[in-house]
A and B are shown apart, each in its own frame.
Chain A
Amino acid sequence: MSDMATPSPQPSPLKGRGGNRDAVRIQEQDFSVEEEVTALRKTSQRMGGIVTFLGCARDFSEGRDVFSIEFEQYAGMAEAAMQSLRDEALKAFDIIDVRIVHRVTTVHAGDQIVLIVVGAEHRKPAFEACEWIIDTLKQHVPIWKKEVTPDGDAWVTQHP
């Protein structure tokens, strides 16, 4: 993903300890935040700060009720793009490990959609990397969502 705007690299000798094949996943089923944080923490005891971003489904959007949200992905390309996001973040920020899980299914209000967990020695790069990952995911990972509303179905086009 050469067109991603990444900050200047800040190499860390601690990188690459994770290497977990399940650190990046697209799945239908729900996930456990606690289990993902635990898995991240197992990769290093050098982590002093762990930041999580949990994206959930809302029951209201664009001034109307939302009954449910249906997700679609470009299988293969989506997971590769998320893997690239993790790789880019590990290179660009002073962090130790990252996990990214995104559900692709039909979700309802309050359901979990996406989880990003970032571990670092210190909190600042963990916060920065987490924000960069979710912002970049919305722009570079081929996943789409369609909101089912009382007025009909509507594909979501913006990524605020």
Chain B
Amino acid sequence: MVKVLFFGAVADKLGKRSVDAQAGLSLEELIAQLGCADIQPLLVAVNQEQIQDMDYIVQGDDEVAMMPPFSGG
């Protein structure tokens, strides 16, 4: 299973902080399936590295993060 983590305003909007998802979907498909398609801007990380390629196919042991823009400091 793919572990998907949600942070900040994204977690609040979805009402959850993590879900398990099926491997084999592209990030674009995963974002749509999880109800994140209308969240803009949305930052995505795979295994703690930010990724721009939404055609990336998620693998079984991937950790995917859906994040709003950062606001630390």
Q: Do A and B bind each other?
A: yes
Q: Mark B2-39, 1 if CB is under 8 A from A, else 0.
A: 00010111001000000000000000000000000000
**A interface vs B, CB < 8 Å?**
3, 55, 71-74, 76-78, 80, 102, 113-114, 134, 137-146, 155-159
Contacts A74-B65, A76-B48, A77-B45 hold; do A143 and B9 have CB atoms under 8 A apart? no
- Most chain B CB inside 10 Å of its own CB: which residue of A137, A141, A142: A142
Once bound together, how far apart are the Cα atoms of A157 and B73, in whole Å? Answer: 12
Give chain B residues whose Cβ lies under 8 Å from the Cβ of A3: 50
- A-B contacts, CB under 8 A, total: 72
Q: Is B60 an interface residue (CB 8 A)?
A: no
CA distance A157 to B72 in the complex (A): 10
Please pick, from A74, A77, A134, A157, the residue contacting B71 in the complex, using a CB distance under 8 A: A157
Residues on B with beta carbons closer than 8 Å to the beta carbon of A139: 70
Main secondary structure on chain A at its contact with chain B?
Answer: mixed
- C-alpha spacing A40/B19, complex, angstroms: 42
Query: Which A residues lie within 8 Å of B73 (CB)?
Result: 55, 102, 113-114, 134, 137-138, 141, 143, 159
Known: A72-B7, A74-B7, A74-B48. A142 touches B12 (CB 8 A): no
Specify which chain B residues have a CB less than 8 angstroms from the CB of A114 in the assembled complex. 72-73
Report the bound CA distance from A71 to B8 in whole Å: 9
